[in-house]
Amino acid sequence: MSTRAANSVIVLDFETTGLSPNQGDRAIEIGAVKLHDGVVIDTFQELMNPGFRVSGFIEGYTGISNSMLANAASCETVMDSFADFIRDSNLVAHNASFDKRFLDAELDAISRTYDGEFACSMLIARRLYQEAPNHKLGGLVEYKQIENDGVFHRALADSEMTAKLWLTMLDDMQLAHHISLPSFKLMQDLSKTTKSQVKSFLSKT
DNA sequence: TGCCAGGCCCTCTTTAGGGCCTT
């Protein structure tokens, strides 16, 4: 039986050298916040050296330079610590399929595993906020007027904003759909519902 | 050789194509 806490979740975000670990891309930064009962109780942020120079595009996109990575610990060292951090927690990320691919690849490289499941804040937001101009993390933060410090595309900042978006979605579901406390499983199920069936899905919860 | 992400989701759909989203 898992010891996974029902009201505990870890929201994470990777900065990487590119879009696909299958094409040789590696993680260069991991940021995460641990939420318990809607409160941040722990954070994790580390740069990691991928073993090769990152492109000028990535330096500009993330603000993470090759000189910053030169003195960073290796991916293997950082991800070993991160595996200890997430343990068997359930996980949330914005466009989770992207972060899951890198988490799986980096942990596979050091023969570590994790037991939690992923929920995707982007798929859920596409269903709850169908009228939003877009469903990028920054766009949703602006649309929902979520407090932020203006830092984007850094791992801890993005994981903090994703966490605030996650809590906002939980609040909106409780207020608009009279759901007592949406469980992680309900959020996962919502992300798998067709957009046209969201209202009927929520009315049955 | 020449290509190069992958999954979701909509539509002029399902015998397909293209936009969105992540770096």
Taking each helix axis from N to C end, the angle separating A184-192 and A121-128, rounded to the nearest 10 degrees, works out to 70
- Domain of residue A75, CATH code: 3.30.420.10
> Which stretches of A19-144 are DSSP H helices?
56-62, 66-70, 75-86, 96-109, 121-128, 137-143
Q: To the nearest whole number, what is the mean pLDDT of chain A?
A: 94
Residue with tokens 């990320």: A93
Q: Domain of A84?
A: 10-199
Split into its structural domains, chain A has a count of 1
Residue with tokens 């759901």: A179
A163 domain residue, yes or no: yes
pLDDT (tens digit per residue) in A173-200: 998 888 888 999 999 999 999 888 888 8
* Residues engaging strand B (CB under 7 angstroms): A 13-16, 18-20, 22-23, 58, 61-62, 94-95, 97-98, 101, 122-123, 126-127, 134-139, 153, 158, 191, 194-196
The residues facing A14 across adjacent strands are: A30
pLDDT (tens digit per residue) in A85-99: 999 999 999 999 999
A205 domain residue, yes or no: no
A58 domain residue, yes or no: yes
A204 domain residue, yes or no: no
Q: What pLDDT is attached to residue A5?
A: 52
Phi, psi of A133 (to 5 degrees): -60, -35
Looking at the predicted structure, is the pLDDT value of residue A3 above 80? no
A66 domain residue, yes or no: yes
A35 domain residue, yes or no: yes
A2 domain residue, yes or no: no
How far in angstroms lies nucleotide B10's C1' from the CA of residue A126? 13
A133 domain residue, yes or no: yes
pLDDT (tens digit per residue) in A94-127: 999 999 999 999 999 999 999 999 999 999 999 9
How far in angstroms lies nucleotide B17's C1' from the CA of residue A110? 39
pLDDT (tens digit per residue) in A14-65: 999 999 999 999 999 999 999 999 999 999 999 999 999 999 999 999 999 9
